Amino acid sequence: MSESPPTDRPQFDWQQTMLRIKDPKITIPFYETHFGFRTIHTYHFEEWNFSLYFMAIFPEGMAYPEPNTKESEQLLWNLPRGVATLELTHNHGTETDESFVANNGNVEPYRGFGHIAVMTKDVYAASAELEANGVLFKKRPDEGRMKGLAFALDPDGYWIEIVRRDAECDIALPFTLAQTMIRVKDPEASLKFYRDILGMNLVRSSDMSDFSLYFLSHAPPDSVDRMVYEPVI
C-alpha cells in the first residue's frame, strides 16, 4: 500500500455513478425533494427502450442552465471538478413490471456495489426530518455498531449513507454528494487500478476489526479534507 504513485498518471475526473431505477416519475422527485439534486440533462433512446437521467447537487452560487437544452448537455460533459452526477437508468416498461427489483449490491450472493453517500451538517436532525417526510431507513444514526451515521433507502432500495460534514466546513447546502462505495476482493489490485490507470489519489484509509476503508479522489491528497468521491471497501 505504500508504493508511490506514478508521476505520469492519466488525467480523469469522476463523472457519474449509475443506478438502475424502476420508475423515474418516483425516483427523480425523491432525490430532488429530499436531497436537493437537480436534473441536468436527459437522454431518451426509444429504439433501445431506455432513458438516462443525469442529476447533481450544484455548488452554492453556481449558475446552471435549463435542463435538456444544448447548454445543459454542454455542462453535463464539462462539469467543474468536485461535481459528480447520479446517472439514473430507466429501462422502459419496468414501471409497470411487478417482478422488477433493483439489485442494490448489499444482498448475498451479489454484494459488490454498496451505496452512495451524502454529507450534511447534522446527521441526527437531517435523518429525523427525512423520516418525518416519509423516507425509509435501513439504519438510523444510533442503531448498529457505528453511531452518528445513517442509511436511508431510496424508492428502488439503494442505500444512501448520511454522514457528518466537517465542522469547519462553511457549506450551507443541506446535502452534498460525498462518495460512492464499492466492495473489492483485493485492495492491493484495486488501489493500483484506480490509482495507476484512472489517476486517483489515496486520500485516507481506515482499518476496522473486520474490514478496511480506502478513500480515493481525483483531487490532490492535500486538498481533500471534506469531499471524498470514492471509497472502496
Quick one: CA torsion of 138, 140, 143, 148, rounded to 10 degrees? 130
Q: What is the pLDDT along the chain (233 residues), one digit of tens a residue?
A: 546 656 666 688 899 999 999 999 999 999 999 999 999 999 999 999 999 999 999 999 999 999 999 999 999 999 988 899 999 999 999 999 999 999 999 999 889 999 999 999 999 999 999 999 999 999 999 999 889 999 999 999 999 999 999 888 888 999 999 999 999 999 999 999 999 999 999 988 989 888 999 999 987 666 554 443 333 33
Work out the end-to-end distance of the chain between its first and last CA atoms, rounded to an integer number of angstroms.
Answer: 14
User: Which residue reads 464539462 in cell numbers?
Assistant: 78
Query: Which residues have a catalytic role annotated?
Result: 161
Please state the three-class secondary structure of the chain as a single string: CCCCCCCCCCCCCCCEEEEEECCHHHHHHHHHHHHCCEEEEEEEEHHHCEEEEEEECCCCCCCCCCCCCHHHHHHHCCCCCCCCEEEEEEECCHHHCCCCCCCCCCCCCCCCEEEEEEEECCHHHHHHHHHHCCCEEEECCCCCCCCCCEEEECCCCCEEEEEECCCCCCCCCCCEEEEEEECCCCHHHHHHHHHHHCCCEEEEEEECCCCEEEEEECCCHHHCCCCCCEEEC
State residue 30's pLDDT score: 98
Shortest CA distance to 126 belongs to which of 36, 222, 41, 10?
Answer: 36
State residue 227's pLDDT score: 41
From CA 24, how far away is CA 46, in angstroms rounded? 15
The grid cell for 224 is 481533500
State residue 55's pLDDT score: 98
From CA 209, how far away is CA 204, in angstroms rounded? 17
